[in-house]
Amino acid sequence: MMKLVSIKTAIIAATIGLSAGAMGAMADETSLDKAQAKAVVTARQDAFEELKDLMAPLGGMARGKVDMDAGLVAKNAAQMATVSASLHEMFEVDTSGFDIENRSDAKIWSSMDDFTAKIDALTQASGVLEAAGVAGDAGGIKKAIVGVGQTCKSCHTEYRTE
């Protein structure tokens, strides 16, 4: 099956001078240099910053501090699902051996099945949230926002260092 190549992966690939298709193969290579590893780490952190920005207004809605906007919920949730799905490729390259400031725990690469499941949990929760937004049901939206937040927290507890 053709792999869906995300925009971010294409950017990383362009930055480090590889075709997008070669990204997967890189996972097994040990010849990654520090500049390449840094580009991957930066793209990863950008993805998480984007998730934070998409989540910010929703957190306010769940707490009743921001007016409920079901259209914005559906839009942001759809984008979160896209960003979440792109995380798989961003963690294919093991950057733990490089002296680069980042908060990805090295055990990600020795627990890849579990880490992958945590990415999938976010993608799935984002889908549930998008559906709630489309349905426009405030109670369902609040519940689904909390559900997404739990998937963020569950992964951070396990795989994000202090």
Shortest reach from residue 69's CB to ligand HEC, in Å: 18
Distances (CA, A) of 81 to 3, 44, 55: 16, 15, 12
Interface mask toward ligand HEC for 109-138; x: CB under 6 A: ------x--xx--x----------------
The binding track of 68-97 with respect to ligand HEC, each residue x by CB under 6 A or -, is ------------x-----------------
If binding is defined by CB under 6 A, does position 49 make contact with ligand HEC?
yes
The residue range among 23-31, 48-56, 63-71, 134-142 that interacts with ligand HEC, by the rule CB under 6 A, is: 48-56
- DSSP state letter for 63: T
Q: CA 133 to CA 153: how far, in whole Å?
A: 22
The amino acid at residue 116 is T
Of the pair 2, 65, the CB lying nearest ligand HEC is at 65
Environment class of 145 (CB within 10 Å of its CB; exposed 0-12, middle 13-18, buried 19+) = buried
Q: Specify the amino acid at residue 6.
A: S
Of 118, 99, 124, nearest in space to 156 by CA: 118
Name the minimum Å distance from CB 7 to ligand HEC: 18
Q: Does 34 contact ligand HEC by CB under 6 A?
A: no
Residue 40 in the binding site for ligand HEC (CB under 6 A): no
Start-to-end C-alpha separation, the chain? 38
Alpha helices in 28-137 (DSSP H): 34-62, 70-90, 112-135
Rounded to the nearest whole angstrom, what is the least distance from the CB of residue 113 to ligand HEC in the complex? 12
Question: Which residues of the chain form contacts with ligand HEC (CB under 6 A)?
Answer: 41, 44-45, 48-49, 51-52, 55, 80, 102-104, 115, 118-119, 122, 148, 151-152, 155-156, 159-160
